[in-house]
């Protein structure tokens, strides 16, 4: 309860910040996007992980207000990046139940001047399990305003290939549990290979998450993954440090 009150307070007085983690194109090595990852600097507890406070925000409905703050702040920030660098924002299943979401996103884009095609919304499979028809309709609205949709954490939870058929995602993010052992003798690159093949056959691209070693990077390149993300390139960093990630060629 106290964390809930603190969340309400922080929405009024500030206390949230956004860190950004680069997505790197596997062929060119250039930064192709950045994922916005919310951080909360709590006055007594220090940094609180989103894994801890997002569920509270979802249960209390605060996620809509918090999510809108993330979208507006991140879109404003991304509008200052080079035009080929996309912004990825995580959207909670609860936000996807709100039928004004597409309107709010269009509003954030218009206010920031960020082109819709530069915004990528990351959603998890939970969205498609909980409230199929309503969520699908909102996803189609979002698509029609020109933003891209990525399926996050693919392969965890109640993964079903039928989701890939029901909604035309632009991108699949392969969960880091499939990446962790990919370069080991005991690893299972066939799973990543299968996802890459499915994506290619359906006009989707792939991102491998949690890339930490060069051996993993090389394996993923050989498998034909489109992008990578992970500590090998950068941990999530504050907005002020993000420009230095783009490099001279960007």
One DSSP character per residue, 68-120 reads: HHHHHHHHHHHTTS-TT-EEEEE--TTGGG-TTHHHHHHHHHHHHT--GGGEE
Under a CB-based contact definition with an 8 Å cutoff, are residues 34 and 88 in contact?
yes
Q: What gap in Å lies between CA 37 and CA 67, rounded to an integer?
A: 11
Q: Which is nearer to ligand G, 79 or 126 (CB)?
A: 126
Minimum gap (Å) between residue 122 Cβ and Na ion: 7
Residue 38 contacts which entry, ligand G, Mn ion, Na ion, none (Cβ below 5-8 A, type-dependent): ligand G
Footprint of Na ion on 144-163 (CB under 5 A) = 152-153
Q: How many CA atoms lie within 13 A of 145 on its CB side?
A: 24
DSSP 12: H
Which residue in the set 24, 31, 34, 38 belongs to the binding site for ligand G (CB under 6 A)?
Answer: 38
Is residue 212 near ligand G by the rule CB under 6 A? yes
Q: Which is nearer to Mn ion, 189 or 210 (CB)?
A: 210
Site residues for Mn ion per CB under 5 A = 90, 122, 152
Is residue 243 near ligand G by the rule CB under 6 A? no
Binding-residue total with ligand G (CB under 6 A): 20
Minimum gap (Å) between residue 8 Cβ and Na ion: 27
C-alpha torsion 161→167→50→99, nearest 10: -150
Minimum gap (Å) between residue 173 Cβ and ligand G: 6
Contact positions vs Na ion (CB under 5 A): 152-153
């Amino acid at each position: 309860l106290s964390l809930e009150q603190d969340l309400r307070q922080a929405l009024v007085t500030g206390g949230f910040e956004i860190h950004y983690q680069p997505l790197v194109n596997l062929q060119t090595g250039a930064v192709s996007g950045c994922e916005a990852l919310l951080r909360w600097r709590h006055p007594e507890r220090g940094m609180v992980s989103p894994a801890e406070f997002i569920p509270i925000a979802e249960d209390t409905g605060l996620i809509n207000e918090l999510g809108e703050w993330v979208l507006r702040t991140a879109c404003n920030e991304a509008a200052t990046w080079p035009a080929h660098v996309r912004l990825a924002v995580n959207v909670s299943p609860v936000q996807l139940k709100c039928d004004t979401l597409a309107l709010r996103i269009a509003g954030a884009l218009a206010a920031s001047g960020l082109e819709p095609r530069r915004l990528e919304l990351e959603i998890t499979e939970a969205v498609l399990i909980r409230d199929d028809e309503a969520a699908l309709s909102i996803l189609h609205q979002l698509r029609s305003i020109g933003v891209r949709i990525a399926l996050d954490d693919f392969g965890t939870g109640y993964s079903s290939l039928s989701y890939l058929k029901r909604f035309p995602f632009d991108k699949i993010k392969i969960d880091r549990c499939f990446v962790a052992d990919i370069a080991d003798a005991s690893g299972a690159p066939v799973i990543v290979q299968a996802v890459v093949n499915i994506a290619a056959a359906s006009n989707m691209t792939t991102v491998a998450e949690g890339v930490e070693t060069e051996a993993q990077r090389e394996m993923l390149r050989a498998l034909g993954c489109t992008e990578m993300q992970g500590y090998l390139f950068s941990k999530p960093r504050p907005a002020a440090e993000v420009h230095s990630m783009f490099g001279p060629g960007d």
